[in-house]
Amino acid sequence: MKFNLDTVTFHKFNDYLHTYYVPGLHDSLIPYKGKVMEVFEESHPRKTKSPDANISFIDNEFNDIYQTLLYGIVNKYYIVDNTWEGCAFAIYSQNNEDSINDLHCHINNHSLVCTFYIDPPNSNEGGELEIWDNEIQKFKSIKISKDYIYFFPGWLLHRPLPQTSTIPRVCFNWGYRSSLKPLHRLTGNIW
């Protein structure tokens, strides 16, 4: 599978969160859910006593498809230098009984990060992405949706919020490390 960058649509949520609508993204991810859940359960943070909620996810086919898409978005919409650290995927899953909702950022690992989802909860079931909004000086929750990728600076405080849905919400996380502060080509936002 290959995504056409001409069909990707940019939406500015605010100065620190950019969203990209990718038609067909969610349906393309569904075949990976079983493997993702298996990897997550094997290395679950509660089982391994890890302080990190994210689990490394390595799958060559997945990497080829989705890293190509993400590098394409980065190169089309941001001014950055060549990444000087390999970009890898991490996964996180939660449901109504099991979630880790700690505030965190990726300032030590990435300049630019993104997240996208399989089976995000419905609008009344929680599971939002909460970010610090510098403009209003408080946290703001964003309802996550199918077929969207959410990009934000690595230093931005964020966390997943709990959900009432029993269906596991799967989150893919990816980061890009650049020695330049990312500059958005359309908005001029510098991260």
- pLDDT, tens digit, for every residue of 118-166? 999 998 999 999 999 988 899 999 999 999 999 999 999 999 999 999 9
- For residue 75, the model assigns a pLDDT of 94
- For residue 53, the model assigns a pLDDT of 81
- For residue 45, the model assigns a pLDDT of 66
Spatial distance between the Cα atoms of 16 and 60, rounded to a whole number of angstroms: 31
User: Tokens 């996810």 correspond to what residue?
Assistant: 57
Q: How far is CA 97 from the centre of its chain?
A: 22
- State the pTM of this model: 0.94
- For residue 43, the model assigns a pLDDT of 85
- For residue 84, the model assigns a pLDDT of 65
Spatial distance between the Cα atoms of 79 and 191, rounded to a whole number of angstroms: 11
**48 to 31, 44, 51, 53, 174: CA distances (angstroms):** 26, 6, 9, 10, 22
Q: How many residues does the chain have?
A: 191
- For residue 50, the model assigns a pLDDT of 65
Cβ pair 141, 153 in contact under 8 A: no
Strands (E), 6-147: 9-14, 17-21, 55-57, 78-79, 89-94, 112-118, 129-133, 138-142
- For residue 138, the model assigns a pLDDT of 94
Q: What is the pLDDT of residues 70-128, one digit of tens each?
A: 999 999 999 999 866 668 899 999 999 999 999 999 999 899 999 999 999 998 999 99
Which band of pLDDT confidence, cut at 50, 70 and 90, is reported for residue 60? very high
